[in-house]
Amino acid sequence: MNRIARFNREKEFSWGLKALFTELDVSEEALIDGFENFLKQYRDIEIIKTSAAEADLIPRNFLTDDHMSLSFDLCFEDECICQIYKTWNDPGFRIVRDVAVGQESPLFRLTFIKIEVLCNTNFIGYETRQDVTGRSVLGLEIGIFEGGLNGKVLRTAVNVLEHVAGKVERIIEDRKV
């Protein structure tokens, strides 16, 4: 594309945007914030897609909302094994997996201490909560700073998360009465 044609397209684009946001009655600050968020989200999605492909994973089921910039299920072949997400304010990505926990065991406290040590030694954050069906789950989470996400890092994080989740499931199963 020659310089004149490119200049005309850029000029038309900027005039079109200005007209659109004037019509929508949006402030210049809101306009800039909106575009910055859009571009950041677009780059993050591309980073995830590229990293997932390098790690032989498939991102599926994209979600976004007021809190989350993006969320994908990460799948290997036909099985979704974990999720990756990023909130609008996160400096990086979070890879998460839920493990069902039953609190009916009288040994749950001892079980949880073992799980806590396992997670802490593998740099995995955790939280207990109820999922949408009302069952108790342990959410396991690994954080990756934005500049550090690539295929190798993603594959390693998913492998560690899966390894720890498997151990957590065995600990819980062994403690059931």
Residue boundaries of the structural domains of the chain: 3-175
Mean pLDDT of 21-45: 82
User: Which helix or strand (DSSP H or E) is residue 142 part of?
Assistant: strand 136-145
Mean pLDDT of 40-58: 94
Q: Average pLDDT of the chain?
A: 84
* Orientation angle between helical segments 108-121 and 151-175, nearest 10 degrees: 160
Q: How confident is the model at residue 7 (pLDDT cuts 50, 70, 90)?
A: very low
128-155 per-position pLDDT tens digit? 888 888 888 889 999 998 778 999 999 9
Mean pLDDT of 151-173: 93
DSSP for residue 5:
H
User: Over 70: is that where the pLDDT of 95 sits?
Assistant: yes
3-175 is classed CATH 3.30.1460.10:
yes
